[in-house]
Amino acid sequence: MATARKRPRADVTEESQAECPFRVEHPSSNDKEKKPKKRRRNGSEDSPAPSPKMPLQVSPFAPNGQFKDPANNMDRHFLVQPNARWVEMTRYNSFVLNGLKYFSEGFIFVANNSTIERPRNPSEQMQPRKKSEEDWVARILEIRASDEHHVYARVYWMYWPDELPDHTRDGSKFVGGRQSYHGMNELIASNHMDVINVVSVTAPAIVNQWDETNEDEVQQALYWRQAIDVRTMELSSAERRCKCGQPENPDKTLLGCTNEQCKKWLHDDCLVHEALMETYKRLGSDKPHRSSPVKREEDDHDGPKRPLSPSESGAAQTAQQSIDVKPEEKTIRLADVENGASANDDNEADLGSIPVASTNLEPRKRGRPRKSEATDSAENSKPYLGLFEGTVDANANPPVINVTDLRHDVTGGESSWTVPIPCLLCHKIIHG
């Protein structure tokens, strides 16, 4: 039997309201091969008791990308220990904490050591924080309670990209930490299961699934597109874009090729890199740029138009995944200590109050991932750095790249100019 990894936590004191006595176990490959032992017919007390049945958690996440095994659906068998104590508790479909109602299948923010320490030290100067130092994000799978003082949630953790361990498999390579295509508000779904005390919950979270194939969809809140299977530490694939074959970073702009036979999306960074490489090959470090007269083409109003980047169109659409559960019209209520307010619900079972001392929280934790700082191997292949810089002007018609000459010791030429943008794949000029 394999025990699930936990987030690291400090020693839990008796006063800690976030103490959680439960742990999650999963069957190992050896457990699957073992046959259950049979009871002796004589009914001896030495006969082994039957093992509790291990339920299957159907994954609420269905990534659009695939794993190495296309049949992988991230479903997991699990067992909460101590099992007898867990199954004896009443199951609820929601709970109320500090006046807010939380439901099974919903996303939540969960306090960690960093978010607890900050309120304790209000005089400390604010320092830049990585996403992994923010509240953790989880999806509630199940809620159980013995009374208003003992309320627990079984959850699947969402990972910040910074938390990906070094040995994570991404296609044919191993990666670690945040990759260049991960957006600032991006999360990674997982089948990493844990049980937490609900007093560690700080707020509800809204997390949408991003469908990369929907080019009109824009993400403005927390979202996920990839999932990680913690059994194999493998990421599901992401939609590949551009000549470089890297996925899209939704925080950056893409430019669409207007050639009807191509219609590929291209990274702004890749387009600028190609233009500056051509500029460096032509001018090097000492030749000035002199524009030559260019014959203007007549505007073709019936010609192909540049498709809008996904980041330029439409409002965000939600595609939150959910699982079907049997309706359980019961709610457990935890008192709002700060103002004494509580929400009324005709279908709720009001079980009383629980004191929540937020400064004493020591939340449930999962195994600490190893961090790795992303490195850009392309730095050594950019000889134009410090000599030229460029930006894409997608609003021009046709779109162009603005090139700026940074070589102050070179005279006799122009300091800035524009160049047309050829598609990196079909090499046709991109029109407006």
* 402 or 304: which leads in pLDDT: 402
**For range 240-250, the mean pLDDT:** 86
Phi, psi of 218, rounded to the nearest 5 degrees: -120, 140
Instruction: Return the structure tokens found at 49.
Output: 């008791």
pLDDT at 329 over 70: no
> How confident is residue 216, by pLDDT bands cut at 50, 70 and 90?
low
Listing DSSP states for 49-63 in one string gives PPPPP--EE--S---
Quick one: what percent of the chain has pLDDT higher than 70? Answer: 63
CA-wise closest residue to 202 among 119, 312, 323, 320: 119
CA-wise closest residue to 282 among 381, 384, 398: 384
**H-state helical runs in 342-393:** none
Question: Which CATH number does 2-36+50-250+312-360 carry?
Answer: 2.30.30.490
pLDDT of residue 29: 57
Four-CA torsion 231, 234, 239, 245, nearest 10 degrees: 180
**For range 253-269, the mean pLDDT:** 88
Instruction: Return the structure tokens found at 395.
Output: 């609003």
* 250 or 91: which leads in pLDDT: 91
CA distance 303 to 31: 64
**For range 374-392, the mean pLDDT:** 74
What b-and-e string marks burial along 202-225, b requiring 16 or more CB atoms within 10 Å of the CB? beebebbbbebeebebbbeebbbb
pLDDT at 119 over 60: no
75 in Cβ contact with 60 (< 8 Å): no
pLDDT of residue 325: 38
Query: CA-CA distances (angstroms) from residue 25 to 3, 55, 169, 270?
Result: 4, 11, 24, 46
> How confident is residue 149, by pLDDT bands cut at 50, 70 and 90?
confident
**One-letter amino acid identity for 111?**
A
Question: For all residues of the chain together, what is the average pLDDT?
Answer: 74
CA 230 to chain centre: 14
* 307 or 113: which leads in pLDDT: 113
**One-letter amino acid identity for 383?**
P
**For range 155-163, the mean pLDDT:** 93
Instruction: Give percent helix, percent strand, percent coil of the chain, each to the nearest 5.
Output: 15, 25, 60
pTM: 0.65
CA distance 339 to 97: 12
Q: Please return the burial class of 66, using the count of CB atoms within 10 Å of its CB with bins 0-12, 13-18 and 19+.
A: exposed
Instruction: Tell me the longest C-alpha to C-alpha distance in the chain.
Output: 104
CA-wise closest residue to 430 among 274, 217, 280, 271: 271
Strand partners, 391: 402
CA distance 421 to 424: 9
Instruction: Return the structure tokens found at 132.
Output: 């992994």
Quickly count: other Cβ atoms within 10 Å of residue 119's Cβ.
11
CA distance 139 to 107: 4
Q: Which helix (H) or strand (E) holds 390?
A: strand 388-393
- 171: phi > 0 → left, psi -120 to 50 → alpha, else beta; which? left
Instruction: Return the structure tokens found at 310.
Output: 């996904």
pLDDT at 428 over 80: yes
**For range 85-91, the mean pLDDT:** 94
Strands 173-175 and 186-190: unpaired
Q: Any idea which residue has 């609420």 for tokens?
A: 60
pLDDT at 40 over 70: no
When mean pLDDT is compared across 15-19, 203-207, 253-257, the lowest value belongs to 15-19
Domain parsing of the chain, residue ranges:
2-36+50-250+312-360, 254-287+296-308+386-420
When mean pLDDT is compared across 56-70, 132-146, 151-165, 321-335, the lowest value belongs to 321-335
Strands 56-57 and 76-77: antiparallel
Handedness of CA 413, 415, 417, 423 (dihedral sign): positive
* 157 or 351: which leads in pLDDT: 157
Handedness of CA 96, 101, 106, 110 (dihedral sign): negative
